[in-house]
Every structure is written in structure tokens, then in C-alpha cells.
Amino acid sequence: MKVQSAMFYFPEEVIEHIFSFLTHHPDRNTVSTVCKAWYKIERLSRCEVFVGNCYAIRPDRAAARFPGLRSLTLKGKPHFADFDLVPPDWGGLAGPWIEAMARSCPNLEELRMKRMVVSDESLELLVHAFPNFKALVLVSCEGFSTDGLAAVARSCKSLRELDLQENEIEDRGPRWLNSFPDMCTSLVSLNFACLKGEVNLKSLERLVCRSPNLKCLRLNRAVPVETLAKIMNQCPNLEDLGTGSLLADQFSEAYVSLISALQKCKKLRSLSGFWDASPLCLLAVYPICANLTGLNLSYAPTVQGQDFINLIQHCVKLLRLWVLDSVGDKGLAVVASACKELQELRVFPSDLFAAGPATVTEEGLVAISTGCPKLNSLLYFCHSMTNSALITVSKNCPNFTRFRLCILEPRKPDPATNEPLDEGFGAVVKTCKNLRRFSISGLLTDQVFYYIGKYAKALEMLSIAFAGDTDQGMTYVLNGCKNLRKLEIRDCPFGDGALLADVTKYETMRSLWMSSCDISLRGCKALATKMPSLNVEIINEWEAEMEENLNNGVAEVISNNNNKHINNGNDERKVEKLYVYRTVGGPRTDAPDFVWTL
């Protein structure tokens, strides 16, 4: 008793100091729930906030709670938006967040956003509202153009990091690079690899020249070898390089200077880009391969066969490898023999149709698992997989935390036995106790979900497509996976029974996505009624187009009264897309016409 109350006699500064050692978000969240005093101390001293679903809380409330915020991470659209399953204009707007932060959190220095819609105006506001702004990281975002980048470049006095990964950026010309002021020398990380257009090469060279702290530089395809060589000569301390187009003649000056420049970069650990790479330019890379820990060849279909083998043999310290399946099982076998430290492997498809001679099969995966026992993260696209291969892989590599296997043909069985792949995936969950992320494919029955529910106790994210037989499948998962945070399902025969099996479960999860399943409006309404703390959103795309056409053509104005349509009587109608997430912000105010919140 006495010990407990002793804490209250500590001055606030001491408690704050103690909290400063807590950097893990869940810990800080827990601590803030102890008592009012701790809540207040924690919120005023909090520097970093992670919001996994931007609609889980209103921006104003988040900004007001943490006035001292320095770093904010936001995620918007559901994961399946990457594969065009979420209609455009769905939401995920960054504007309200930036405005809220501008009002309440003047100390903001870093903003990281994933799958959000950011406008040029928001970017303008961002750089003008926060004098200390240092780092902008945008992943899979859209809605802005190179003009917005120009605004960021122009107005940020001490910009350290501008990292653009896989965004859709409207190209309004190469002038944005000129916008970095001459006195900007603070750049540490610049990544514009996703830009499709031209860049001003002279400006790029000048910018690199005056950035002595540059550690990470990722160029886009428009940057030729000549410029790359010049840049490499300027920054020998580079640790992470994304090349531009690697097309060069053997006897060209550019090629020769590239070789000498690369040799000077003793600290280079990570390489990516390799667009249009000619075998010759690959030769230039050999001298630095021995120190590489990360290599991304997934945008280089020209690197295959013997070229790839020659390159990868030297990369003995490799931890992370991303390739295309054109390297084939043969290439993967060489990886297995050379890269003993490998922890992460991603194999992307280069060919979506028939399996040619040079794509990967289960043999390649087995070889990797035999040679690289430290493998813990896998993303593997292939045309077929067998149960025995999966069982072997899980025996060899029990340390998987992320295991994503995508068999390109939906519902494809084990070709050797013609059976479903339940046992193979079941073996993975049985042996890999630390599995946090799992994606499954191929022919699968309810049995695989039984295994997942029973063994995958650490599982946090599960992606399912074209799998299962009955509602029982989904129920196994909901009942068994205690740590499940995100569940995304498409084209599975799960219906209302599965959806409503355990409604309180959704409050413990971040979100649930179900598309092209067997759920009806009745089921969704029931869920919404039982669980007011969830937003149950239905997406109807045709609805929006129909309304648009009608508004233009026919004289009557269709009122945007969703209730009229929802309560139209027929609740047995099937719901095409469902997105359920927990929130304290209530139904969202920016939902477009085709999103109905029940």
C-alpha cells in the first residue's frame, strides 16, 4: 500500500523522466491508462504517435491530446487498396490531419504516411506550419504532384529526409529539384525512385554536391549512368543507393567513371534500382557486392540467368534480397549457397501467365530454406506449390515472422497429389511460433483455418483469397488467433454466420476487410447494431456512377439520403465490399457516396 502511494509523491518531472525510457508505443499507451496524473504526464511528454488507421480517431482529438508531438505516422486505406480493390476517392485524406497538427502541434518534425491522399495544398501547409520540419516519408500515397514536392523543397529550411516510396505522383515537370535552396545542405536521405518523369540532372548534381551528410539516395529511371557516376564521385559516404537507368556502353566514359566511383564507396550497404541494367554495368557492381546487406533487383527483368548468378555469388553478407522470378530455381539455388545470412527474400512475378522455363517453383523455395536457415521474412510468387515442399521449408526455417506465399492461379491444388494445401500451410503455423504475418493461396479448405486458429497464436495479420468451404473456416480464425489485428478476405464463401460468430472480437482488432464473400446486408446491419464502437462500412461502386449519370441526365435530383437506400427492404442483398474497423471517432464525415456506414 505504502509503496504504491509513494509514486504519487514523486514530482512530475521524475515520472516524466522515467517515461522517457519508454519508447515502445504499446507501453506508453498502457502507462497512460493507470491514472489521470500519469495520463496527463504521458500525453504532454509524448513525442511519437503511431495511428494505424487514420479513421480510428479524429485528427483534432489526437492533436489536442499530444501537443508536444514531434513525429506522426499515419496509415489510411486498407491494404487491398494496393491491388485496386478500393475505389478511388474512398478517403484517407491527409489534409484534416495536417490542419489539426498545424493548429495544435507546432513542434512537428516528421510525418510518415502510408496509403493516404495528400494534396499539393496540404504539402504547402505542412512546410509552412512547422518551422522545424525535417522528414517526410510517403509510401503508396497519391493526390499530389511535383509542384507539391517543389513546395516542400523550397520552404523546408532544414529538410533531412524526403522519402517517396511507390507513390502516384503527377508529373508537372522536372523543375521541383531546382527548388531546393542553395543553403540547403542538411539532406541525409532522398528517394524519388517512383517518379516517372524527367529530372533536371544539373540540379541533381548540384544538390548532391552541397549535401555532405547524404547517406541514402535513390534515383529514378530517368537518371543516366553519366550522372550517376558524377554523383557517386561526390558522395563516397553513401550507404544506400538506388541507381537510375543502368544502360551504358563498354567503352563509354560513363562506364569507366562509374566503375571507379563505385569502388570508392566503401560504406555502400544497400543497392536498388538497376533499371534496364546491361550485363556490363553489373560487372561494375561486383567489387562492392561483398559488403552488401540489401539488394533489390525486382525492377530489373534484364538481370537473369548467368548474369544474376555471377552477381549474387559475391554477395555473401546479404540480409535482404528482392528479385524477379526470372532468376529461376537455378538462381535461387545459387542464392542459397552464397547468402548464408539471408533473412528476407521477396520473389516477384515477371510473367503472369504460363510458367516458362525460367520461373520459380517449389524447388527454389526448398533450396533457399535449406541454405538459409536464418530466413524470417518471405514473399514468394510462384505458379505452383506442394505440401511436401512447404513442410520441408517450415522444418528448415522455424523462425518465420512473415510468410506470404502467392500461387498465381487461384485455387490451385498440390500438383503432385491433387490435394489441397492445408497440410503444407498447417506445417508452417505449427513450427513457426513467432509468425506475425501470413498470406495463403492455392486450394484450401476449412482445415487450414483450423490449423491457423489452433497454432498461430502470435499471428497479427492474415490475408486470405479464394479459400475455405464454410463459415467454420473464418470462425476458427476469429476464435483462435488471440493477437489478430488485421484480417483481410477476398473471394471466400464466408457468410453472415462467420461475420457474426464473435462480434466482440472486432473491437480487439484494427480492421476487417471482406470482399466478394457471401455476406448480406442483414448481417452487416446486425453487426453495426451490436457493436456501436465499430464503423461498419459498405462499398458500392456502381451506386456512385449511377448517381452521377442520373444527376447529369435525368432532371430529378437523387438526394444523398443513404438511409433511404439502406432501408429499402431487401436485406438479403449480398454485400460486395465490407470494411469494419474500431474507432472512437464515430462514423466518418468524409465518406463518399459509394461508402455507406451502417
Partner 1 sequence: MKTIQFETPARQENASMMHESVNHLDLSLGISSSNDACNYKNAPKTAKRMISFQTEPVDASPAYKKCVSVSSRMAFDYSYLFSHCPTGFVDPWSLAARQQKAAAEQAHLKANPNPTSSKIAMEPQQAPVVVGWPPIRSSRKSLINQNLTKSCTIDGKDSTLKSEKLAETKDAAIRLELRPTLYVKVNMEGFSVGRKIDLSAHNSYESLSRALQNMFCNFLSNKLISKDAHANANNSEFILLYEDYEGDKILVGDVPWELFLKSVKRLYITRHSSAQEKAGDGIKDSQKEEANHLTDCSN
Instruction: By CB under 8 A, name the binding residues for partner 1.
Output: 80, 82-85, 140, 166, 171-173, 194, 197-198, 298-299, 301, 305, 348-354, 356, 381, 406, 408-412, 439, 463, 465, 490-491, 516, 521, 540-543, 545-546, 548-550, 552-554, 556, 558, 565, 568-570, 573-576
Give 561-564 contacts, CB < 8 A, sequence gap 24+: 562/596
Least distance between partner 1 and beta carbon 123 (Å): 19
3 or 354: whose CB is closer to partner 1? 354
Q: Which amino acid is at 176?
A: W
Least distance between partner 1 and beta carbon 515 (Å): 8
142 or 422: whose CB is closer to partner 1? 142
184 or 379: whose CB is closer to partner 1? 379
75 or 490: whose CB is closer to partner 1? 490
62 or 421: whose CB is closer to partner 1? 421
Least distance between partner 1 and beta carbon 479 (Å): 26
Alpha helices in 212-303 (DSSP H): 225-234, 253-264, 279-289
Could you tell me whether strands 577-582 and 534-539 are parallel, antiparallel, or unpaired per DSSP bridges? Answer: antiparallel
Least distance between partner 1 and beta carbon 458 (Å): 23
DSSP structure string for 45-110:
H--EEEESSTTSS-HHHHHHH-TT--EEEEE-S-GGGGGT-S-TT---BSHHHHHHHHHH-TT--E
Least distance between partner 1 and beta carbon 24 (Å): 30
Least distance between partner 1 and beta carbon 283 (Å): 17
Q: C-alpha cell of 145?
A: 504532384
351 or 502: whose CB is closer to partner 1? 351
279 or 585: whose CB is closer to partner 1? 279
Least distance between partner 1 and beta carbon 570 (Å): 5
| Cα distances (Å, whole numbers) of residue 151 to 63, 119, 190 | 24, 12, 15
Q: Is 145 helix (H, G, I), strand (E, B) or coil?
A: strand
> Is the Cβ–Cβ distance between 265 and 238 less than 8 Å?
yes
Please give the Cα distance from 514 to 38 (Å, whole number).
39
Least distance between partner 1 and beta carbon 217 (Å): 20
Q: C-alpha cell of 552?
A: 447529369
> Is the Cβ–Cβ distance between 295 and 274 less than 8 Å?
no
> Which residues lie closer than 8 Å to 14 by C-beta, 6 or more apart?
none
Rg of the chain over Cα atoms, rounded to whole angstroms, equals 26
Least distance between partner 1 and beta carbon 173 (Å): 5
> Is the Cβ–Cβ distance between 284 and 258 less than 8 Å?
yes
404 or 510: whose CB is closer to partner 1? 404
Question: Closest Cα partner for 350 from 327, 377, 334?
Answer: 327
81 or 259: whose CB is closer to partner 1? 81
